[in-house]
Chains A and B, each alone.
Chain A
């Protein structure tokens, strides 16, 4: 069990670093969506982006984080 805990902690650290390593706009889209539960249209308004761009950022952010897992 201690090994599993360590593994989980390590995964969490890597994921946190992966979030930190995301491009600026991509990370902002992810945080506004995951942490604040803003919708794509709202994120687009907040960051002065098109909804399509927000969708692409969210898709790529999740894919990059999954790759770290």
Chain B
């Protein structure tokens, strides 16, 4: 130390006294940025000015600088067995956890009415299927074209010629479709015509309204029928003329559909 050192130290003390208080400490982010040399020059100079008057920040920065020192921490003594203890702790932490088995799920018992409902639905479905199949079969049968469907001319009962007996017009067994021509000998100015098909010993099975007289055969009416719609048996067909709200019987015809 030179002989002027005390005077130099005193001069530095005086200069520091004139520099004033250090002010607020630097925040860690700024110190870290300074340590990483990421601050602009002007801010770096201001930070260094603060380090001159704030020993606390200067020591903090030195600690930060020491972290990057390759020899940092070499002088720290690690107790014997620390490595083994660490390995043991790691083993315990990485051991698989005991998995609790799932409790067996209880099978839900359906209520009794559920079975009854299911059975009823099953029966309904089967019944509907059978009905639909039968309906489809009928439709297919009816859809098949029948060439030269038989035409049967019916005369009213009681109008047969002398010597003829009133017999029913027969529909042969193989005829599915047939056309009935009802001859009518009663003339009249009727507003409309209709016919009823009555099964012998039974009631009306069919009613045909809105009949129109055939233009070619004067006074006759045509009915298109099918065996499947009527069924085998004896029938009476009644032809009516409508006038003034009243119905007048024009003729009654006998028909037999052979089985």
Q: Report A's interface with B, CB cutoff 8 A.
A: 11-12, 15-16, 18-20, 24, 28, 30-32, 34-36, 38, 42, 45-48, 62, 65-66, 69
Mostly helix, strand, loop or mixed at chain B's interface? helix
CB 8 Å contact bits of B26-46 with A (1 = contact, 0 = none): 000000000001000000110
Among B8, B48, B51, B62, chain A packs the most CB atoms within 10 A around the CB of B8
B: interface residue count bin: 20 to 34
Instruction: Given A46-B61, A48-B37, answer yes or no on A32-B52 (Cβ-Cβ < 8 Å).
Output: yes
Inter-chain contacts of A46 with B (CB < 8 A): 48, 51, 58, 61-62, 65
Complex contact A35–B12 (CB within 8 A) = yes
A62 to B6, CA, bound (A): 12
Flag if B4 contacts A65 (CB, 8 Å).
Answer: yes
A32-B14 CB under 8 A given contacts A15-B7, A46-B51: no
Extra 7 A-B pairs, beta carbons < 8 Å, given A62-B8, A66-B8: A15-B10, A32-B51, A36-B55, A45-B61, A46-B58, A46-B62, A62-B4
Question: Please, could you name 30 A-B residue pairs with CB atoms under 8 Å apart, sorted by A?
Answer: A12-B7, A12-B10, A12-B14, A15-B7, A15-B8, A15-B10, A16-B18, A18-B11, A19-B15, A20-B15, A24-B45, A28-B48, A28-B49, A28-B52, A31-B12, A31-B52, A35-B13, A35-B16, A35-B52, A36-B55, A36-B58, A42-B62, A45-B62, A46-B58, A46-B61, A46-B65, A48-B37, A62-B2, A62-B4, A69-B7
Q: State A24–B44 Cα separation when bound (angstroms).
A: 13
Of all chain A residues, the one with the shortest Cβ separation from B44 is A48
* Residue B97 is within 8 A (CB to CB) of chain A in the complex: no
Pairwise interchain contact A31-B16, C-beta atoms closer than 8 A: yes
Residues on A with C-beta less than 8 A from B11 are: 12, 15-16, 18-19, 65
Q: Is the CB of B58 within 8 A of A38?
A: yes
**Are B65 and A31 in contact, with the CB atoms below 8 A?**
no
Q: Does B174 contact A (CB under 8 A)?
A: no
What residue of chain B has the Cβ atom nearest to residue A62's Cβ? B8
CA distance A30 to B11 in the complex (A): 11
CA–CA, A28 to B16, complex, Å? 11
CB-based contact B52/A34 at 8 Å = no
Which of B12, B45, B48 interacts with A19 by CB under 8 Å? B12
